[in-house]
Amino acid sequence: MMGEEFYAIIKLVSGEEIMSVVMPEDNNGETILILQNPVTMQMYQNGVGHYIKVKPWMDLNDEDMHIIKLDKIITMSETTNKKLISVYDDFVNGDDQKIKIPPIDGKVKPDIKMGYISSVEDARKKLEELFKINQEPKES
């Protein structure tokens, strides 16, 4: 297993969860992990769908390789999830334009893919017709 690269999700003792390409190495009898381009990922959901926000694990660092000792890790699992790996690879390769993240202010500009757009008055009339709100209640 030493020297084989794989995609992994790692939970650190600090509480951070990171995803990275990982390569275990032997360092004088002690196993260390070499992480290539570690990132953090957050899942978000809005009315349109689910989104993943990806950012570098260390914001102010220019290095793409990091070394971690095993005593700093709670758990680590290899991932073969193709969608997750694709999001990671797109981000690392600078092609994160395909990753849709909702605007920070929460506002979404309506478009034709969202369905029929009508005025409030038209929608109210349609709903009243549908649910027959305008009918007089039946007297017993």
Domain parsing of the chain, residue ranges? 6-107
Let me know if domain 6-107 sits in CATH 3.40.50.720.
no
Which residues in the chain come in under a pLDDT of 50? Answer: 1
The rounded distance, in Å, linking the Cα atoms of 24 and 69 is 10
Identify the pLDDT of residue 125. Answer: 82
Q: Render pLDDT for 69-99 as a digit per residue (tens, 0 to 9).
A: 999 999 999 999 888 898 888 888 886 555 5
101, 97, 21, 103: which is closest to 66 by C-alpha? 21
Q: For residues 116 and 122, give the distance between their C-alpha atoms in angstroms, rounded to a whole number.
A: 11
